[in-house]
Structure 1
Amino acid sequence: MGFKNNLINARSHIIFLVALGCGLALVTSIDRRLETGPIASNTGTQMAQFEDITPLPLAVTGASSETDLEYARVAWRYFQNNTNPNTGLVNSTDNYPSTTMWETGSYFVATISAERLDIIERTEATARIGQALETLQEMRLFDEILPNKAYDVRTGDLVNYANEPVERGLGWSALDIARMVGALGHVEANYPELALDTSSLMERWSLSSMVEDGQLIGGNMIDGNLRRDQEGRVGYEQYAAKAMMLFGFDMYRAYDAENHLMVRDVEGQAIPVDTRLHRNITPAFTVSEPYLFDGLEFGFDARSHRFATSIYAAQEARFRETGILTAVSESHINVAPYFIYSSVWGGGAPWAVMTFSGDRMDSRRTVTTKVAFAWDALFGTQYTRELLTAIAPLGDAERGWPEGIYEIDGTTNTSVTVNTNAVVLAALAFRAHGPLIRKQP
């Protein structure tokens, strides 16, 4: 076989290596700019409070127990039940045929993790992801710019959050799309044969339209007009920036956490909190979610490892102080308004539970399944094992893992979602193989 044919056959590997090289070069450049640029004048103030934190060691074991594989099969059941055969997309919650780019990214993460755990064959993984990529390539974009905020899983049509058709759409979520871009990076790392498909998809999306001056910019429909808003707060913003940097986007301001950082003491732990308002309405909150994704998917950097250690330690300290199991993050709930943010710090107070509109709803605080699995995979402490012992009986072999346990009365939060079951699979894959971006041998 000649050099030309070899080059053609290797093209997907070359595409990924070039993109990864560009991303690494950009991270290096950003690190230098953080040392010497104008924002560095703040260094040593808020960030200094994390310098003495010793990051917890990671708990990668290099193997899966039979119990781990049993848990993984329960999680994969969700995807067997909720994948649409016509589009290859997956319901956001059990039997609810709507999805976002965030949730589609979760599906890709789940599929890669299931294949790593040998729950499914590689051929099934590539077939599933390939079909979804074909649908994504054909779906109508918001204003022919970027993916809409929500789509009907059955048809791929633009919808609102009630899964009702909308002609123009809702706009786009830069955070959701960045999470999807990160998932595409994981696909390329693990399935180079799909690299041309992922590259073609990202070329179709005008990703540069959601990046401005090193920040993520969302598009929101307000009274019939498109308004561009900065998106992301400390935690989510840096996770999304990492995803975009994989493909060479300059995310200097989004990756920096210092410029909008304040520190709040919770249970004796320094907790990173954003100084900006959440959605420009309510005080920002700190939850476990973005740090879990960062560790499981990309592997912690020095800063996110310290932040995650503090956020985890505060939850363990609350348990040691009160006897109440604590594993908080954003989650669906099975009563109105159906989605909450259970924070370590939020709305100006520790352990606040907030609705989308910023109202307090502390009665719905949940010991969340995904947080229990993820902390245990990342840190593997005595406390995380206590969390898993409490959560383990909830697994439903016919439906998947529910969201968790309501703290107030110990009843089950019975909502079953793509995100929770994806994190369970990613956590179990991390325990055996390390971060998802790491290519399998």
Structure 2
Amino acid sequence: MSFRENLVKARSHIIFLVALAVGLVMVIGLEDMIAKNTNSQTMKLGPDLDPDLELKQVSSIAAFNDVTPLPLAIVGETSQADLAYAQIAWRYFENNTHPETGLVNSADKYPSTTMWETGSYFVAVISANLLGIIDEQEAKTRLSLTLNTLTKMRLFDDILPNKAYNVQTAELVDYANKPVERGLGWSALDIARLVGTLAQVTQHYPELAPKVSALLGHWDLSQMVEDGQMIGGNLSDGALRRDQEGRVGYGQYAAKAMMLFGYDMYRAYDAEEHLIIKDVLGQPIPVDDRLHRNVTPAFVVSEPYVFDGLEFGFDARSHRFATAIYKAQEARYTETGILTAVSESHLDEAPYFVYSSVWGGGAPWAVMTFQGERLDSKRTVTTKTAFAWYALFGTDYTKELVTTLAHLGDPERGWPEGIYEADGSTNGSTTTNTNAVILAALAFRAFGPLIRAKP
């Protein structure tokens, strides 16, 4: 077959890869744009703008002008200690990947998953390959199997992935892992997180681009984007309700992911529209002025910021936000002597999941349930957050965090969530997200942001 004929035959794959490359350039290019906006001290009022709103935005942005972004701590190599930590994290995925579907348990031995956690698995595979824990062929085999399953599995209303799936059967389930015929709806944030990891898959393994293209062709992503915002689908009395998703932090992370595939996310990426500032131990903390799940004041956790830095690389705005959020946690330790590395986390007892915040529910350091109840007794020093801040900033405090938590790693099971602040006992819940973040953090130390990393 001639070169011309081969070129024509491969044209759809070439177009897909070119589009992905353009999306990547767009996301990386945001840094210059945000830097100009963040450094701006004033905002010109137009005739159609609300003066009070404008002044609020100037005040919010100006709060970060004095935040000097901490330098990144990319070391360019993998130490023996890092490799040992990574091997422990990978053991979790060896134990929890279902061989028929390629899906991974959300928590150790619990056979349910979401699109967020499936994205975390993709990050874990790429990171393990970069670190030399698995070879390229195993990485591609694992990813290929999961992509095949995602392409074939039944969707909610034939539109988008359901909020939860059984990893053994790939069937739609509720949050108790019980089969449901129609499903629960879709989470735009979860799907966007997975979409961002699909960009990483095609960046590292171009041979899998046709499978990624087929998967995205199977999903109607346009249903979860409206007027530049993320839109989730939720069942209410049998009717589909479309709700805006994403608050400051998570919204911008998800927007970056969707922008990689050409979606216009101008409102989701614009953190300033709903930004308010809360001072926590001298640090300006970016808080969303909307309710979380329409129930409780929005919370600020480390999660979306460390994902942004480890996977995409910070832009100027997220770098400042992340610096302030990290420094508030370090300041709490300096002031109280209490180790602090907070984020959303699973628990090894009821209610099994909480948001440990820097600011949340109207107060600093609140720990909240899904329902907005305070549960500060379950604040956890989380292993994933410790490793992530250590990889990103490499300060003396982050080294102390990792050193303190290092004994928790179980070579037979992986890394647990961390230790409970109240009594120092182990929060033994062992999850996909924690072990994936640890792998991503260790890969970042050697190679930088995953989407740009080259072994």
Residues 188, 171 of structure 1: alpha-carbon distance in 2 compared, 3 angstrom cutoff? same
1:97 aligns with 2:98: no
Q: More displaced, 13-22 or 375-384? A: 13-22
CA distance in 1, matches of 2:274, 2:358: 18
User: Is 1:206 the equivalent of 2:220?
Assistant: yes
Deviation, 1:44, is 2.4
**Alpha-carbon offset, residue 23 of structure 1:** 5.5
For residues 212 and 421 of structure 2, what CA distance do their matches in structure 1 show?
42
> Aligned partners of 1:85 and 1:377: how far apart in 2?
32
Instruction: Tell me which residue corresponds to 1:351.
Output: 365
Q: CA deviation at 1:168?
A: 0.4
Q: Which residue of 2 aligns with 1:411?
A: 425
SS in 2 for 1:228: strand
Query: Which residue number corresponds to residue 46 of structure 1?
Result: 60
Cα contact 1:13–1:195 (8 A) shared by 2: no
Partner of 1:18: 19
CA deviation string 1:31-89 (max 9, x = no partner): 59989997994652201100111100000011000110000000000000000011010
Listed as ranges, the matches of 1:377-392 within 5 Å are 377-392=391-406
Separation in 1, partners of 2:437, 2:14: 27
SS at match of 2:234: strand
Which residue is 1:340 aligned to?
A: 354
**d(CA) in 1 for partners of 2:9, 2:110:** 42
Residues 1:125 and 2:139 are matched in the alignment: yes
Over the matched positions of the two proteins, sequence identity in percent amounts to 67
Query: 1:368 maps to which residue?
Result: 382
- Structure 1 residues 104-115: aligned runs within 5 Å: 104-115=118-129
Following superposition of structure 1 onto structure 2, how do residues 34-433 of structure 1 map, counting pairs within 5 Å? 41=54, 43-433=57-447
Q: Give distance in 1, aligned partners of 2:110 and 2:376.
A: 26
Asked whether the equivalents of residues 267 and 317 of structure 1 are also in contact (C-alpha less than 8 Å), the reply is yes
Contact 2:301 2:344 in 1 (8 A): yes
Q: What amino acid is aligned across from residue 19 of structure 2 in structure 1?
A: V
In 2, the alpha carbon distance for the partners of 1:264 and 1:28 equals 29
C-alpha contact (below 8 Å) 2:20/2:199 kept by paired residues = no
**8 Å contact 2:28–2:315 — kept in the other structure?**
no
Could you tell me which residue of structure 1 aligns to residue 40 of structure 2? none
CA apart distance, 1:215: 0.1
SS in 2 for 1:148: coil
- Please give the TM-score of this superposition, normalised by the length of structure 2: 0.93
C-alpha displacement at 1:20, in angstroms? 2.6
CA distance in 2, matches of 1:85, 1:149: 22
For 1:154 and 1:219, how far apart are their aligned partners in 2? 25
1:418, 1:224 → 2: CA distance?
31
Q: 8 Å contact 1:76–1:421 — kept in the other structure?
A: yes
d(CA) in 2 for partners of 1:13, 1:386: 47
Q: Which moved more, 1:108-117 or 1:43-52?
A: 43-52
Separation in 2 of the partners of 1:376 and 1:118?
21
Per-residue deviation, residues 75-134 of structure 1 (Å, max 9, x unmatched): 000000000011010000000000000000000000000000000000000000000000
Q: Deviations over 1:253-302 (max 9, x none)?
A: 00000010000010111000000000011000000000000000000000
Report the Cα distance in structure 2 between the residues aligned to 1:26 and 1:260, rounded to whole angstroms: 21
Assess, with a 3 A threshold, how the Cα gap between structure 1 residues 122 and 13 changes in structure 2: closer, same or farther.
farther
Q: Which moved more, 1:34-43 or 1:19-28?
A: 34-43
Residues matched between the structures, number: 441
Q: TM-score, normalised by structure 1?
A: 0.96
Amino acid corresponding to residue 366 of structure 1 in structure 2: T
User: Residue 312 of structure 1: CA displacement?
Assistant: 0.2
In structure 2, the residue corresponding to 1:102 is in which secondary structure? Answer: helix
Deviations 1:109-161 (Å, cap 9, x if unpaired)? 00000000000000000000000000001100000000000000000000000
Which moves more between the two structures, 422-431 or 44-53? Answer: 44-53
Taking the aligned partners of 1:350 and 1:419, their CA distance within structure 2 comes to: 25
Q: 1:23 to 1:377 in 2, by over 3 A?
A: closer
User: What is the CA distance between 1:402 and its match in structure 2?
Assistant: 0.1
For 2:259 and 2:245, the matched residues in 1 are separated by 16
Deviation of residue 224 (structure 1)? 1.3
The answer for unaligned runs of 5 or more in structure 1 is: none
User: Aligned equivalents of 1:14 and 1:390: distance in 2?
Assistant: 49
SS of the equivalent of 2:134 reads: coil
C-alpha distance in 2, partners of 1:352/1:232?
20
Supply the distance in 1 between the matched residues of 2:298 and 2:190 (Cα, whole angstroms): 18
Q: 1:29 to 1:51 in 2, by over 3 A?
A: closer
Cα distance, 1:203 vs structure 2: 1.1
